[in-house]
Each structure stands twice: as C-alpha cells, then as structure tokens.
Chains A and B, each alone.
Chain A
Amino acid sequence: QKEVEQDPGPLSVPEGAIVSLNCTYSNSAFQYFMWYRQYSRKGPELLMYTYSSGNKEDGRFTAQVDKSSKYISLFIRDSQPSDSATYLCAMRNTGNQFYFGTGTSLTVIP
C-alpha cells in the first residue's frame, strides 16, 4: 500500500464550479499536510499548509484535514481557467521526510 493515495483524474469542470481534490494516507506519523499546484513542466508551488485537523481557508482555497480518517481535501471555489494544473498533496512526518501523492490533473473550461 502506498503511503499516500491520490486520484490522478483527470478532472474537468466548467468555470465557476467548486472543485474537490482528495488524498488518503496510511501513516499516523504524518503531522503536516500540504497542497501544491504544478503547472506543466514547472516547479510545484506551495498553495496550502496545515498541521491540524479542521479547515484552513485562503481566498478561494480551503484545505481540510481529518486525521481520524486519514483524509485530506482541497476545495477550490469559483474555479478559473488559470486554476488548470496538476494538484499534489504532500505530507511530512516528524523525521522531516515528505511523501507526495501522484497528483490530480485539473482542467477548468471557460
């Protein structure tokens, strides 16, 4: 079983839709949770970072962590064509090792 599981998609939505991206994990040692956005052939860009269960909001983005279920989500409200990218979830354990999902490809259609 992989440490982090992420549905690769692809996901295609109309502009203005709410997007939900999800990851599950198996290791209880993961303490910190991140979402990255990666445009084609570019470096991953850190979008959201959280270390506790619950919700964290930043503009149109909301990160949700449920440690009891080992499940994290990223919600994008009012999605824009510029949100079209691959979204990677990532987790860090107390040993400062990072584990990444395989990424979900998102296309927002104008």
Chain B
Amino acid sequence: DSGVTQTPKHLITATGQRVTLRCSPRSGDLSVYWYQQSLDQGLQFLIQYYNGEERAKGNILERFSAQQFPDLHSELNLSSLELGDSALYFCASSVYWGTGELFFGEGSRLTVL
C-alpha cells in the first residue's frame, strides 16, 4: 500500500458527461501529480500541484481541470467526455523537497461509452 488513495476505482459514464476523480496523498506529502494511462500507452503527465498551487502542466486538455485543496487532497475534473478519454487516471504524491520519490495510487479506471 503506497498510502495514496484514489476514488472511485471504477467509473462508467456517457459521452458529454462530467466526472470528478479524487486523490488523497500520502501523509506529509505536499505535492500531487496526475497522470493518464491509456491502453498500451505510457504514463502521460497531466498536471502537478504543490501545497495548493499549480506547479507544472503537461498534456492536459482544456476540458480537464484540477485543484488541490487546503487539506492537500486533489480533484481532477473531466468534462464534455469523449470516447478517447477512457483510460486509467493515476494520482501520485511526493514530499517535493529532499529525496522526493513519487508514490502512486491504484488509479481510477474511467470508461466512456
């Protein structure tokens, strides 16, 4: 158990809908990262937060947004969903400073029908 918690584990929805994925980082970790992994593809970095502030953006679509709250949990909002958004969405956390290993949650599997 990495200590990173993601909910929901599975989500099935229709095109055009909006969903919210939630992540609780490891205790003490201030930095949260979101990744997308489609079938047979590598991890695609979406966005990074540190202590509530956005720090880096990757290949995140404009239909997607995220935030990190004062209690350090983070949410990834996906709207106007398309079939191609079906993927595993991973949250990872890191202390940010020092050694800073990255620890992943078990992911949220999104299926868009």
Which chain A residues have a beta carbon within 8 Å of chain B's beta carbons? 32, 34, 36, 41-46, 49, 51, 88, 90, 92, 95-98, 100-103
Q: Which residues of B contact A100 (CB under 8 A)?
A: 42-43, 45
Q: At the interface with chain A, which of B59-67, B70-78, B96-104? A: B96-104
Confirm or deny: B55 has a beta carbon within 8 angstroms of a beta carbon on chain A.
Answer: yes
Most buried by B among A41, A43, A45: A43
In contact, A101 and B102 (Cβ under 8 angstroms): no
7 A-B pairs closest in CB distance: A102-B42, A43-B104, A43-B106, A100-B43, A44-B104, A49-B101, A43-B107
A10 to B56, CA, bound (A): 32
Confirm or deny: B20 has a beta carbon within 8 angstroms of a beta carbon on chain A.
Answer: no
Closest to B55 in A: A96
Q: Which residues of A contact B68 (CB under 8 A)?
A: none
Confirm or deny: B80 has a beta carbon within 8 angstroms of a beta carbon on chain A.
Answer: no
A103 to B42, CA, bound (A): 7
In contact, B105 and A96 (Cβ under 8 angstroms): no
Q: Which residues of B contact A44 (CB under 8 A)?
A: 43, 90, 104
In contact, B101 and A43 (Cβ under 8 angstroms): no
Q: Which residues of B contact A102 (CB under 8 A)?
A: 41-42
Confirm or deny: B17 has a beta carbon within 8 angstroms of a beta carbon on chain A.
Answer: no
Between-chain CB contacts (< 8 Å), 21 pairs: A32-B99, A32-B101, A41-B109, A42-B106, A43-B2, A43-B104, A46-B103, A46-B104, A49-B99, A90-B102, A96-B31, A96-B55, A96-B96, A97-B48, A97-B56, A98-B33, A98-B102, A100-B43, A100-B45, A102-B41, A102-B42
Closest to A42 in B: B106
Closest to B94 in A: A96
In contact, B42 and A92 (Cβ under 8 angstroms): no
Q: Which residues of A contact B96 (CB under 8 A)?
A: 96
Confirm or deny: B88 has a beta carbon within 8 angstroms of a beta carbon on chain A.
Answer: yes
Contact of A98 among B45, B106, B109 (CB under 8 A): B45
Given A88-B43, A100-B43, A103-B42, A46:B101 Cβ within 8 A: yes
